[in-house]
Amino acid sequence: MLTGYGLLIAFAISIVVLLASIIKFKMNPFLALLLTSILTGFLVKMPINEISTTISTGFGSTLGSIGIVIGLGIVFGNVLSESGATESIAQGLIKKTGNKNSALAVCTSGFLISIPVFMDAAFVIMMPIIKYIAKSTKKSLMVFVCALGVGTIVGHALVIPTPGPLAVAANVNANVGFYIMYSIIIAFPAALAGGWIYGKVFEKYPAYEDEKSSQSLVEVSLNSSEVVVENDVESIENSENPGFGLSLLALLFPIVLILVSNISNLFLIEGSLSYNIVAFLGDKNISILLGIIVAIFILRKYLNKNLGDIVIEAAESAGLILLITGAGGAFGSVINASGIGNFLVETMSGLNISVIVLGFVLSALLRISQGSTTVALVTTSSILGPAIAGTGVSPILVGLAICAGGTGLSLPNDSGFWVLSRFSGLSVKDTLKSWTVGGTIAGFTAFGIILLINFINTIIPLPGL
């Protein structure tokens, strides 16, 4: 296998080829990802018999972790959409914040929801509402995709109880209570900077429209590079919709279930019956499934279609999304197996720089090289954790710097990139502009706040640090 800086050259070539295939030559992302995965395997001189196995393993493991939640999320979204609940929630949010601050409300909602819920699940649940808000406010969909996407990834990457930050806090031996306190202080301004403030640049883009809304309530348009889910807003606005409170209850039920589970298990004995039951109910797949059942039960009289048709439409919507997401995981698997991430870690660890800066840079490089935020966070904190004690630097700030490093810089080797792109219907180019750039701005903003807090702490000792 290729070693040294040749790995970085191979990685750069792979990314350029992938982006050119999709953006320039309009190749279907599913095919482009698979072909680029094969090319990358050859570039890093991976044994030819391992290339297809690595691709299959990466594809399967990715869909194994998020495939069910994507399918259930689409069904859940369709139930909320068909009943008019998404429209009621959107109208309620707009009424409370006004059109001018609707993106702020979306960013804040995404941030809060993604703390107990995985980013992909939170985005899938919220996307139908976001499309309605975009149409109602006559703004570009990119404004709200940026707000929601950045809000969810910041909450997911920085705030406990999501697995990445939780593992980081444990690996750096930080006090969980103070860790949560400082993570919120750092994360929320970062989410606003990358999701809401930066998202304002897209207000000059064309307003979002449902061009085919008169044809059907949910229509999926497939072409070589996009999947666009479109809602018939006009027909719903002329029908009786559930109230804001009832609609919000249906939306929040699975989210609250996950949140209560994660918080409860902090105080329960691991392995006990109560712990296992709570963990089962709080599993993202189980909670969304239960959310679907609850939503059907309380919204059944508002549904415009029978459940069978709703599930069939969801399956049609999920097909290409699952293929592309799985292929993104396959590409990330090849990159990870090539040793690019390990080479970056070894190279950076030998440099004599601040442990806070090192944590941020290492995590960011791992995020770029293999795609997964959680893997970047867990790997970096495992490496640096034992070395923090002798530096005199707050383990909380080092841990949060690691989390900030894994927040942005999302490339097409990140399965989350494809979840956001496919569910929003944005092109790869627009996804890079909104999600990747916005998330990176949020990550650097969080890092800047961490450095400021560290500076203040050297002058005036702060609680918990």
* Predicted local confidence at residue 289, as pLDDT: 92
Question: What is the Cα–Cα distance from 108 to 219, expressed in whole angstroms?
Answer: 29
Closest CA to 185 of 396, 419, 42: 396
229 pLDDT exceeds 70? no
* Predicted local confidence at residue 390, as pLDDT: 66
266 or 361: which leads in pLDDT:
361
* Predicted local confidence at residue 312, as pLDDT: 86
Closest CA to 440 of 345, 381, 364, 378: 364
Least confident stretch, 104-108, 171-175, 343-347, 426-430? 343-347
End-to-end Cα, the chain, rounded Å: 44
Residues 6+ apart with CB under 8 A from 238: none
% of the chain with per-residue pLDDT over 70: 87
Question: What is the Cα–Cα distance from 415 to 63, expressed in whole angstroms?
Answer: 10
Question: What is the Cα–Cα distance from 291 to 76, expressed in whole angstroms?
Answer: 7
What's the mean pLDDT when you consider all of the chain?
81
pLDDT band at 72 (very low <50, low <70, confident <90, very high): confident
Rounded alpha-carbon distances, angstroms, from residue 89 to 133, 227, 251: 9, 24, 9
Question: What is the Cα–Cα distance from 341 to 407, expressed in whole angstroms?
Answer: 16
Span 29-54, mean pLDDT? 90
Closest CA to 130 of 351, 461, 424: 424
* Predicted local confidence at residue 241, as pLDDT: 82
* Predicted local confidence at residue 339, as pLDDT: 79
| Neighbour tally for 347: CB within 10 Å | 14
Handedness of CA 155, 156, 160, 166 (dihedral sign): negative
Span 243-291, pLDDT tens digits:
888 988 887 888 788 768 877 877 888 889 999 999 898 887 898 899 8
* Predicted local confidence at residue 264, as pLDDT: 84
319 pLDDT exceeds 70? yes
* Predicted local confidence at residue 232, as pLDDT: 39
Tokens of 367: 């995020």
Highest mean pLDDT among 1-5, 311-315, 450-454: 450-454
Span 156-170, pLDDT tens digits:
889 876 667 877 888
DSSP state string for 407-449: TS---TTSHHHHHHHHHHT--HHHHIIIIIHHHHHHHHHHHHH
Residues 6+ apart with CB under 8 A from 80: 86, 89, 128, 129, 247, 250, 251, 295, 299
308 pLDDT exceeds 50? yes
Span 401-451, pLDDT tens digits:
999 999 988 888 787 888 888 888 888 889 999 989 999 999 999 999 999
Question: What is the Cα–Cα distance from 4 to 340, expressed in whole angstroms?
Answer: 9
118 pLDDT exceeds 80? no
